[in-house]
Amino acid sequence: MNLIQRIQAPTPKAYKQVRNTGMGLAAIGAAILGAPVALPALVVKAAGYLAVAGSVASAISQTVTYEKPQKRRCAMEPNAYPNPSPKLGALGGTLLVIALHITREELLKTVVLAAIGATVSFAVSFLLQRLLRKKKR
């Protein structure tokens, strides 16, 4: 079952409640973040976390599906437990090892470089658009 099929499949009732609650939390967080008044930094930070947590909870709970239980097999029977994809296991292990070896300094450096790269990219795109507009006139 691919992701689109999982999203379109019926969601169990409990997870529908989680999804709806998550959407509400995300909306509250977004409303606080978009407020046209100055709010304390702690409130803004909490609203950001609230928005992210709500949207993640909504997205994950939407992909939960219900499958009817199959006949139980004996643990000794061949193929009693489906073999998960080796690629998925390797990817999970690799990501875990990488996550454990990333230091705060490296993470901060990556964030700063990404922000600089995005800013430079935006500036160059903006300047090129202006130059092309002037050239067309």
pLDDT of residue 27: 92
pLDDT of residue 70: 64
pLDDT of residue 78: 56
Type of residue found at 52: V
Which pLDDT tens digit goes with each residue over 28-85?
989 998 888 888 989 988 888 888 888 888 888 888 877 666 666 555 555 555 556 6
pLDDT of residue 102: 76
pLDDT of residue 68: 66
Which pLDDT tens digit goes with each residue over 77-121?
555 555 566 666 777 777 777 777 778 888 888 889 999 999 999
Which sequence spans correspond to the domains of the chain? 1-69, 84-137
Of 91 and 129, the structure prediction assigns the larger pLDDT to: 129
pLDDT of residue 83: 57
